[in-house]
């Protein structure tokens, strides 16, 4: 009973793990390299999670992909090592680069401090060359990956974050090397004679360490269902000719019979054939209350069996299971680009050249206009500018928030189709709710039967005979009622459904019309019915009203809470329904909605949504996704709620895996939280660069001079003269990236 989800599954997608991406520029490079591979029609890379999703026309050999990715300067992680977390693979090499650089760097740093404070007065002509010999290989080892990235960028006539680091480190090292090996260069400007090997090493060490930490945090932000998918069972117990056999879950075929024991996890999707149990579907729906499953019910891969035992027949395997498709949707959403991110990307791409220019100007200004320590100041300032300006935080600000936000949403059973949906959900100020099945349970009860010239049972039998063909909740209730009474249904011919009104069919050779007042008036039958809080279904036979069946429906348990959640955050709710006015009014009163529309046809629902939109409002529509398609499409954001046992992720921008109205409210509020994290991150990343670049350029020196020197407590930041220290700049840069990531990670724990 699974409906086709995203077009993604039809087009065939494959997820591959890639190592080494750390910025928006990397993403573009990897995507470009992948689409050049024959058979790959589209590629979406995600540096946050270290993976790419490719759309393929036909199966593609691993070596082909691997070659393309290596050619772009990254590495394809072998699918054989899937068990190993990609994060671990990124963290270890970074640490291997960081540790030697930090040890040697701090060693030189403390040696120089000791010389200064303990009056050792060593001879620079012998000590500096020793530093050179110690520092150069360690530095080369540490900076190598950054150098490779920067060189690759340069070959493409572009720049990236590594360009800045490499230039800064190269300047510090070059100056120090000249100073250590050819001191004659500085004769006459003795005060300038100094080395910055420690600075260069510590910068490289910090940046590598920062990237290791960053990889950890990034993956935590992206981890939602992916990790759970990895935990999905590896084997399934298949029954064949009465024999049970454990086979790899990937070998299970559609049609196989699978046996499940208590406590086991379901391996593939299927339909229960015998036995009964309750299953924890939290992995898919975010709802931890177990769901009872018996013969005919659908079970989903990844869900967990409680006490019972049962067998089921596989209907969806491999990448077709609901879990795999949900995971694909989430991965896709996490990798997609929010519109707001494009701006940040553009800024980041022009940023690097501008910073290089600022660094050069800084250098010249200090060399020409500085006092007697001008060379040192010039190098220190230029290096500090290059290091502090790295727009890493800017590049991480949006994607980290999108990954964490949509990951958190997925664990609540809320699937955003893409980052754009997440972004627009954050702007919603009006939520239009469909009534039946969305705010109400949709499980109607027959409350009264009023026949008009026929027997009770005959009225119900005729109505149910027509309704057995309909998918409407009212129809289902009438059919269930007929079955309760033990009535044998007849044969309906030429069934026609009129969405939002009712249905017609020929039963026993006579035209039967079932539906609301509008349906009746279309068949020239006038209704004179007193107001009631139950929904009337009128039944006419050959143009004559033969009775009324009344049904009532209860608001869902979470309905009032959802409306309240929204209203406390200034989001208005509107109820919209095709039902009669009195019923709609009573439901809206029950759940606390002030504004409602009744008697609306599906097409009119779209018009009503549009009317709300005109008054300068951002409108979301929550519906069941089938009947409400036009309204969902018209709204700024369409949220489709899961109905019955179907896990349908149609074309709505947001799919709610659980038919709980609270999830819809949470979707809007979580998106809002994500939006504000994105804004905070961007504001922070921008102001970080705007504030620290002038400090690094040494603009604070005259200020400190004016106030009589650097205060004692901030010497480590500003040195003796008010010059922002390059080591402090490296720390600041790493800290800014990590703050942006940590801020995004708050979304992983979001609650409402």
Spacing of C-alpha 272 from chain mean position? 32
Do 139 and 197 contact (CB within 8 A), yes or no?
A: yes
* Total residues found in the chain within this entry: 752
Which residues have C-beta within 8 Å of that of residue 509, sequence separation ≥ 6? none
Residue 597 near ligand ADP by CB under 6 A:
no
- The two structure tokens encoding residue 232: 């999905």
Residue 738 interacts, among ligand ADP, Mg ion, none and using kind-specific CB cut-offs from 5 to 8 Å, with: none
Spacing of C-alpha 4 from chain mean position? 21
402-440 CB burial, b ≥16 within 10 A, e <16 = bbbbbbbbbbbbbbbbbbbbbbbbbebbbbbbbbbbbbb
Strands annotated E in 566-630: 572-576, 595-597, 619-623
Residue 285 near Mg ion by CB under 5 A:
no
Q: What is the largest CA-CA distance in the chain?
A: 119
Residue 743 near Mg ion by CB under 5 A:
no
Footprint on residues 629-648 left by Mg ion (CB under 5 A): none
Footprint on residues 560-579 left by ligand ADP (CB under 6 A): 577-579
Toward ligand ADP, which CB reaches closer, 19 or 646?
646
Do 376 and 194 contact (CB within 8 A), yes or no?
A: yes
Of 219-227, 322-330, 625-633, 654-662, the window that binds Mg ion (rule: CB under 5 A) is 625-633
Least CB distance to ligand ADP at residue 538 (A): 8
Toward Mg ion, which CB reaches closer, 105 or 500?
500
Least CB distance to ligand ADP at residue 580 (A): 7
Residue 472 interacts, among Mg ion, ligand ADP, none and using kind-specific CB cut-offs from 5 to 8 Å, with: ligand ADP
**Interface residue with ligand ADP, options 434, 636, 660, 725 (CB under 6 A):** 434
Residue 659 near Mg ion by CB under 5 A:
no
Residue 444 interacts, among ligand ADP, Mg ion, none and using kind-specific CB cut-offs from 5 to 8 Å, with: none
Footprint on residues 530-549 left by ligand ADP (CB under 6 A): 535, 537
Do 168 and 147 contact (CB within 8 A), yes or no?
A: no
Element (H, E) at 313: strand 310-316
**Pairing status of strand 535-541 against strand 291-293:** unpaired
HEC sequence for 651-671: CCCEEECCCCHHHHHHHHHHH
Q: Is 434 a catalytic residue?
A: yes
Least CB distance to ligand ADP at residue 457 (A): 19
Least CB distance to ligand ADP at residue 514 (A): 5
Cα–Cα distances in angstroms (integers) from residue 48 to residues 92, 129, 334, 482, 750, in the given order: 17, 42, 8, 55, 19
Do 378 and 192 contact (CB within 8 A), yes or no?
A: no
Which residue do the tokens 């490079």 mark? Answer: 29
**Interface residue with ligand ADP, options 503, 551, 639, 655 (CB under 6 A):** 503
Strands annotated E in 499-645: 502-507, 510-515, 535-541, 544-552, 572-576, 595-597, 619-623, 637-641
Cα–Cα distances in angstroms (integers) from residue 734 to residues 81, 391, 688, in the given order: 30, 11, 12
**Interface residue with ligand ADP, options 139, 514, 571, 731 (CB under 6 A):** 514
Residue 475 near ligand ADP by CB under 6 A:
yes
Residue 541 interacts, among ligand ADP, Mg ion, none and using kind-specific CB cut-offs from 5 to 8 Å, with: none
Residue 598 near Mg ion by CB under 5 A:
no
Helix axes 62-71, 24-35, angle to 10 degrees: 140
Residue 731 near ligand ADP by CB under 6 A:
no
Toward Mg ion, which CB reaches closer, 168 or 602?
602
Residue 436 near Mg ion by CB under 5 A:
yes
Residue 501 near ligand ADP by CB under 6 A:
yes
Give the CB-side neighbour count of residue 231, counting CA atoms within 13 A: 12
How many other CB atoms are found less than 10 A from the CB of residue 171? 22
Q: Which of 198, 269, 434, 572 is catalytic?
A: 434
Of 251-259, 435-443, 565-573, 692-700, the window that binds Mg ion (rule: CB under 5 A) is 435-443
Residue 460 near ligand ADP by CB under 6 A:
no
Nearest residue to ligand ADP on Cβ basis: 578
Toward ligand ADP, which CB reaches closer, 214 or 467?
467
CA–CA distance, 417 with 633 (Å, rounded to integer)? 14
Residue 472 near ligand ADP by CB under 6 A:
yes
Toward Mg ion, which CB reaches closer, 398 or 627?
627
Residue 658 near Mg ion by CB under 5 A:
no
**Interface residue with ligand ADP, options 381, 470, 588, 674 (CB under 6 A):** 470
- The two structure tokens encoding residue 430: 């009006």
Residue 550 near ligand ADP by CB under 6 A:
no
CA–CA distance, 100 with 205 (Å, rounded to integer)? 8
Residue 627 near ligand ADP by CB under 6 A:
yes
Residue 376 near ligand ADP by CB under 6 A:
no
Of 44-52, 205-213, 429-437, 728-736, the window that binds Mg ion (rule: CB under 5 A) is 429-437
Active site residues: 434
Instruction: Provide the binding-site residues for ligand ADP, judged by CB under 6 A.
Output: 434-436, 467, 470, 472, 474-475, 500-503, 514-516, 535, 537, 577-579, 602, 627
Instruction: Provide the binding-site residues for Mg ion, judged by CB under 5 A.
Output: 434, 436, 627
């Amino acid at each position: 009973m699974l409906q086709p989800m995203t077009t993604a599954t039809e087009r065939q997608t494959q997820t591959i793990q890639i190592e080494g991406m750390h910025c928006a520029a990397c993403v573009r490079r990897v995507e470009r390299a992948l689409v050049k591979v024959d058979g790959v029609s589209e590629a979406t890379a995600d540096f946050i999670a270290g993976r790419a999703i490719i759309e393929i026309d036909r199966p593609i050999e691993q070596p082909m992909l691997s070659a393309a990715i290596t050619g772009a300067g990254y590495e394809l992680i072998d699918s054989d090592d899937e068990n190993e977390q990609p994060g671990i693979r990124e963290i270890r090499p970074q640490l291997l680069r960081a540790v030697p650089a930090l040890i040697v760097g701090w060693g030189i740093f403390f040696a120089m401090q000791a010389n200064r404070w303990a009056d050792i007065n060593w001879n620079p002509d012998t000590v500096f060359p020793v530093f050179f010999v110690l520092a150069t290989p360690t530095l080369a080892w540490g900076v190598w990956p950054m150098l490779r990235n920067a060189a690759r960028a340069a070959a493409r006539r572009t720049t990236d974050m590594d360009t800045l680091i490499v230039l800064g480190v190269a300047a510090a090292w070059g100056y120090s090397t000249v100073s250590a090996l050819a001191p004659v260069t500085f004769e006459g400007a003795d005060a300038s004679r100094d080395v910055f090997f420690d600075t260069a090493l510590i910068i490289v060490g910090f940046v590598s360490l920062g990237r290791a930490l960053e990889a950890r945090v990034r993956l935590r932000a992206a981890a939602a269902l992916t990790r759970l998918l990895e935990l999905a069972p590896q084997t399934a117990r298949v029954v064949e000719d009465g024999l049970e056999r454990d086979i790899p879950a990937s070998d299970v075929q559609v049609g196989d019979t699978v046996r499940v024991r208590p406590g086991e996890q379901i391996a593939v999707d299927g339909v229960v054939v015998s036995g009964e149990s309750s299953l924890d579907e939290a992995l898919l729906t975010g709802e931890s209350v177990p769901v009872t499953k018996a013969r005919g019910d659908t079970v989903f891969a990844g869900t967990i069996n409680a006490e019972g035992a049962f067998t089921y027949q596989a209907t969806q395997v491999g990448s077709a299971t609901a879990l795999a498709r949900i995971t694909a949707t989430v991965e896709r959403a996490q990798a997609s680009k929010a519109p707001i991110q494009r701006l940040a990307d553009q800024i980041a791409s022009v940023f690097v050249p501008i910073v290089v220019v600022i660094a050069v100007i800084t250098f010249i200004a200090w060399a020409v206009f500085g006092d007697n320590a001008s060379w040192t100041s010039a190098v220190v300032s230029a290096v500090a500018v290059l290091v502090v300006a790295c727009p890493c935080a800017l590049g991480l600000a949006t994607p980290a928030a999108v990954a964490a936000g949509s990951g958190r949403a997925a664990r609540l059973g809320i699937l955003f189709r893409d980052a754009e949906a997440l972004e627009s959900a954050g702007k919603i100020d009006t939520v239009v709710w469909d009534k039946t099945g969305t705010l109400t349970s949709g499980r109607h009860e027959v409350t009264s039967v009023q026949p008009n010239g026929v027997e009770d049972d005959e009225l119900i039998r005729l109505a149910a005979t027509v309704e057995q063909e309909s998918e409407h909740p009212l129809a289902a209730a009438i059919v269930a009622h007929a079955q309760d009474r033990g009535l044998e249904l007849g044969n309906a011919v030429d069934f026609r459904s009129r969405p939002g009104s009712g249905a017609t069919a020929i039963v026993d050779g006579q035209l039967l019309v079932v539906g609301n007042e509008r349906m009746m008036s279309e068949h020239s039958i006038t209704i004179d019915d007193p107001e009631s809080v139950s929904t009337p279904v009128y039944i006419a036979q050959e143009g004559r009203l033969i009775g009324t069946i009344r049904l009532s429906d209860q608001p869902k348990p979470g309905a009032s809470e959802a409306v309240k959640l929204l209203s406390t955050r200034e989001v208005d709710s509107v109820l919209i329904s095709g039902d009669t006015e009195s019923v709609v009014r009573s439901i809206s009163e029950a759940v606390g909605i002030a504004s409602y529309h009744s008697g609306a046809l599906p097409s009119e629902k779209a018009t009503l949504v549009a009317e709300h939109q005109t008054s300068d409002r951002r409108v979301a529509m929550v519906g069941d996704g089938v009947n409400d398609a036009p309204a969902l499409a018209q709204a700024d954001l369409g949220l489709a709620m899961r109905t019955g046992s179907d896990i349908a992720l149609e074309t709505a921008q947001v799919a709610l895996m659980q038919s709980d109205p609270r999830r819809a409210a949470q979707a809007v509020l979580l998106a809002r939280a994500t939006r504000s994290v994105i804004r905070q991150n961007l504001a922070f990343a921008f102001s970080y660069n705007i504030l620290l670049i002038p400090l690094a350029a040494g603009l604070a020196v005259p200020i400190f001079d004016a106030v009589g020197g650097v205060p004692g407590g901030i010497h480590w930041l500003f040195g003796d003269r008010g010059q922002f220290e390059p080591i402090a700049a490296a720390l600041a840069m790493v800290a800014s990236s990590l703050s942006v990531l940590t801020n995004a990670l708050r979304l992983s724990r979001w609650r409402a």
